[in-house]
Structure 1
């Protein structure tokens, strides 16, 4: 079978770039009986994928992203006679004749549209239903997102599956004292700290975390490290730092280099992620894989990712967030238990499993058959609410 994969965004940072690189590596490794036409817009990115007999990197030129998606890609696929087209990010090539596989990385666009500018909201309102109708099948990266998708677009209910993200093997506990000391010095990290890692904007509830830490900081010696960069209206989340006492205990190191993430997570005594909504929540998985205890929220797919390995609290309740953090920081036995549970939970999410399940969908589409996948591993032990709590007022101080 000949599988075309749209790789224009493969070199991007962030979760989608990681998803593309890791998943496609897994597909290529497992699908040696197939030919993979990997479609790029950058010759340098294409060169990294050369060298395997069943992999054919192709550079397509077009004057802009839309032209690349909607002209260059379908033109190539139709001429080459590919059997299925897969885009690991978002757009669907409308003129492609082969069946297409769409990936929904989260239901943010229609669950919390307030987090996006009006141009993006307008684009998604028009484009997303068209992409979903063009796609022969849809992958959702969480069961929570799949349920939201089916509720919003009922025509997708019979042609979608959940395939969870994996976690890279490089995320594991770091114990080398020299590595830990180097990373601590590079980012000027305090001796003992709670860590938040990710973008800073309303959906992530960094403002609620700061308020919870304000209530907690008098009873623990830890500081709070908020590592990331502000996104859409994200600076509002940092307004609680106008309090000098709170600001003195909060560190803002900025974006952490990808190579340093396992060490930073290993240094943290707790990873706090009280997000209002997550389509998946990759940082939760990375933290657990590094043996870091986690406190998260009932928002979106967070309970689905952590299972029984971490407490989930109402993101609108800073007292509950503070209490959950205190329970870990003040009790070494509780922290140790959560480390063990988190490490075991993280082992359920592998890119090998994600690739095997995705390849099964691609093969079914290539045969013009409906994919038949079992539930994702580990999902049965997790209670996934039909509708997780959302913020009562995203413009409130606690929402950032």
Structure 2
């Protein structure tokens, strides 16, 4: 059985869908070596020396049944060609015959083969004001069209499945929930293992951490306001906040808020951090805060849990599914409740310890190996 996989996000994006694709496909290949894989990707303008490209080349060297298929277009041109212009040229022109196509990134390219598609969330409809309007228009057209073409649709959570049923009128029988995993690199580390990262970024002794794109949907402005409330208390005068993530759409309000609250000396922004450094940052933090307004799943809270860091998160969308009873949850719009929950973890050692232990156990339930086995079961339907 020959399977074509859209691997574009994996070689172009560090976090988010890029990491999802790398981890899931690597785990799938390791679990089942009986299939042939054609991993196609937009290669125009790609930095061949990037970490993600080198990682991909290593996968191809390790597995004789995996072949890279570069498409001589940039990601933008590839999107224009197949999604905006709807060019009917099938991907088989590049990959050769396929028995199945899998796309882990919202949209499908033309193919003659049966099709499996992953839809991570519907944020472009739920919060259209938090994305570029051109992107909203594109996704509002391309995603429903791809869902209609797909033989099977995978969702990251029951919450996303419900959204597809309610907002796109998709038959529930066509949707399967496959939870993402937590990469094994996210684990408890010793102080000695964390020290190089602490020194590299000059991390403070006591800090909260947020990991995610700096954008309105992530609710960072309210996090900053809650953090400011905490720093007004004398016992937390030495508390800092570390923001880990790149600027997203409409991120200016975040930096305006930092200036308005006069907390620039207490907020550290790490905008270009290697994946390998992130586990140590989680380990060093006293609390991980993830107050997002909407998530298709929300991996950062589980990454923090896997590192033994208690979590405060929001009680909306898929986040309760992800964290279970192993985190403190608040209404995302309630700044005082957010500050109060963080304060509970800072001042009650028993609660901090209980949630650390519960979080470690919760994170163990989400593995890429489990997700890969579910994906292989999906492949078998078309074998």
Match of 1:2? 2
Pair 1:225–1:56, CA change in 2 (3 A):
closer
Uncovered stretches (5+) of structure 1, i.e. residues with no partner: 368-400
CA contact (8 A) 2:228 2:261 kept: no
Q: Tell me the distance in 2 between the aligned counterparts of 1:316 and 1:238.
A: 19
Please state how far the C-alpha of 1:274 moved relative to its aligned partner: 0.8
Uncovered stretches (5+) of structure 2, i.e. residues with no partner: none
CA contact (8 A) 1:61 1:72 kept: no
- Aligned pair count? 362
Q: Tell me the distance in 1 between the aligned counterparts of 2:254 and 2:162.
A: 29
Matched ranges for 1:98-247 at <5 A: 98-177=113-192, 179-219=193-233, 220=236, 221-243=238-260, 245-247=262-264
Pair 1:104–1:244, CA change in 2 (3 A):
closer
Match of 2:281? 264
Q: Tell me the distance in 1 between the aligned counterparts of 2:9 and 2:289.
A: 29
CA contact (8 A) 1:112 1:203 kept: yes
1:244-267 per-residue CA deviation (whole Å, 9 max, x = no partner) reads 653333222333221110001000
Please state how far the C-alpha of 1:299 moved relative to its aligned partner: 2.5
Pair 1:194–1:31, CA change in 2 (3 A):
same
Q: Which is worse superposed, 333-342 or 84-93? A: 84-93
CA contact (8 A) 2:164 2:170 kept: no
Match of 2:303? 286
Match of 2:106? 90
Q: Tell me the distance in 1 between the aligned counterparts of 2:8 and 2:247.
A: 25
Pair 1:196–1:62, CA change in 2 (3 A):
closer
Match of 1:30? 31
Q: Tell me the distance in 2 between the aligned counterparts of 1:254 and 1:32.
A: 37
The TM-score with structure 2 as length reference comes to 0.89
Please state how far the C-alpha of 1:121 moved relative to its aligned partner: 1.1
For residue 58 of structure 1, give the secondary structure of its aligned residue in structure 2.
strand
Match of 1:302? 319
CA contact (8 A) 2:292 2:313 kept: yes
Residue 356 of structure 2 is aligned to residue 339 of structure 1: yes
Pair 1:126–1:245, CA change in 2 (3 A):
closer
Q: Tell me the distance in 1 between the aligned counterparts of 2:42 and 2:263.
A: 47
Please state how far the C-alpha of 1:72 moved relative to its aligned partner: 5.8
CA contact (8 A) 2:118 2:154 kept: yes
Pair 1:275–1:361, CA change in 2 (3 A):
same
Pair 1:62–1:295, CA change in 2 (3 A):
closer
For residue 10 of structure 2, give the secondary structure of its aligned residue in structure 1.
coil
CA contact (8 A) 2:104 2:117 kept: yes
The TM-score with structure 1 as length reference comes to 0.85
Q: Tell me the distance in 2 between the aligned counterparts of 1:8 and 1:244.
A: 40
Q: Tell me the distance in 2 between the aligned counterparts of 1:49 and 1:189.
A: 34
Residue 311 of structure 2 is aligned to residue 276 of structure 1: no
Match of 1:48? 58
Q: Tell me the distance in 2 between the aligned counterparts of 1:312 and 1:91.
A: 32
